[in-house]
Chain A
């Protein structure tokens, strides 16, 4: 959340690397990319739910960030700025898919992991089944959300950003963040209850 009115928290040397990259140091920018690529990829994936598109979006986001470095004033952190570019590209991707009628959540079957899956917590089979069912239901519910609502939901619930950080990353007011988040959560809550009945 950071101090009230203070600059967003960020590792000191991100700013340094941005300055060097702005002066044309390509290697400094490469370091920034390596540092942020996992986070950017995951954010893109959580938005579009497709590894191939997520890779495309996250790489494109860094390329655009590089091209736009002269316009980057440094009032936001590099992380916030990247969130913003990734989210905008993901929203464009979703809208394009919507227009062309392609399904938005097309790999609910695939694990998001590229390498080995993490060992699951030792749960009884019933709980695991239930959790899988809940995940699948939520994935379907999220696919029905308007892209802008999906962005706010992902930034809050999956990325764990504060309302203020989301409003900076999405470029809308706090009130808009709150209402988008509410409608998204309510929709998902209704989807769960419609399918699972009242939960015990």
Chain B
């Protein structure tokens, strides 16, 4: 029936969080209303519950007694050998697309256009700034890691967000 319409990210996310008991009361009431109206959504919540319930009761892995006893000496050996200092895991480009599923080829092209505009704008060649706007492109957020940085840009007056990944070449 209308269940295909329920499978949007917002509603699905609410149901998944509802099944895991993570919703604040107001959202919980909304999710319960959704559930009353749709048997397919109810079955989905049951499956979500089974996922969370099973994972939450899964067995913990325990070191065997000899492994526990020798654990520190193993660490010490590595320290003496010279462990590499920690570095953040490099976000794989493919996984960034996972996190931002709406990021498509179209927005990747838009990113090139936007960033090119920004660069040219800075060089005084050309500007994407709409009349009256203080800035051509606004940087919404920057996350910098040691070997990659992620910047999110947005043009004022536009809902389009552009995610730009700078990956430093690995040595």
Q: Are A and B subunits of one complex?
A: yes
CA distance A140 to B86 in the complex (A): 30
**Does B50 contact A114, Cβ atoms closer than 8 Å?**
no
Q: Which residues of B contact A172 (CB under 8 A)?
A: 143
Residues of B within 8 A of A62 (CB): 75, 78
In the complex, the answer to whether A115 meets B62 with C-beta atoms within 8 Å is: yes
Segment of B25-33, B94-102, B106-114, B130-138 engaged in the interface with chain A: B94-102
List the interface of chain B (C-beta within 8 A of A): 9, 12-13, 16-17, 20, 43-44, 46-48, 50-52, 54-56, 58-65, 67-68, 71-72, 74-76, 78-79, 82-89, 91-92, 94-95, 98-101, 141, 143, 145
Name the one of A60, A138, A186 contacting B83, with C-beta atoms under 8 angstroms. Answer: A60
Please report the C-alpha to C-alpha distance between residue A111 and residue B9 in the assembled complex, in whole angstroms. 36
* Known A92-B89, A115-B64, A148-B91; contact A158-B56, beta-carbon cutoff 8 A: yes
Which A positions have Cβ atoms within 8 angstroms of B? 26, 30, 33-34, 37-38, 41-42, 45-46, 51, 54-55, 58-60, 62-68, 71, 84-85, 87-88, 91-92, 95, 111-115, 118, 131, 134-135, 138, 146-149, 153, 157-158, 160, 171-173, 176, 178-183, 185-186, 188-190, 192-193, 198-200
B123 to chain A, nearest CB (A): 31
Distance to closest chain B CB from A80 (angstroms): 13
Q: Do the beta carbons of A45 and B61 come within 8 Å of each other?
A: yes
How far is B162's CA from A20's CA once the two chains are assembled, in angstroms? Answer: 45
Interface centre among A95, A172, A185 (most CB of B within 10 A): A185
Interface centre among B12, B52, B56, B59 (most CB of A within 10 A): B59
Cα distance, A68 to B43, chains bound together (Å): 48
Residue on A with the closest CB to B39? A198
Instruction: Given contact pairs A146-B98, A192-B47, enumerate 13 new A-B contacts (beta carbons under 8 Å).
Output: A34-B71, A41-B61, A63-B75, A88-B86, A92-B89, A135-B54, A149-B98, A171-B143, A182-B9, A186-B12, A192-B50, A199-B46, A199-B47
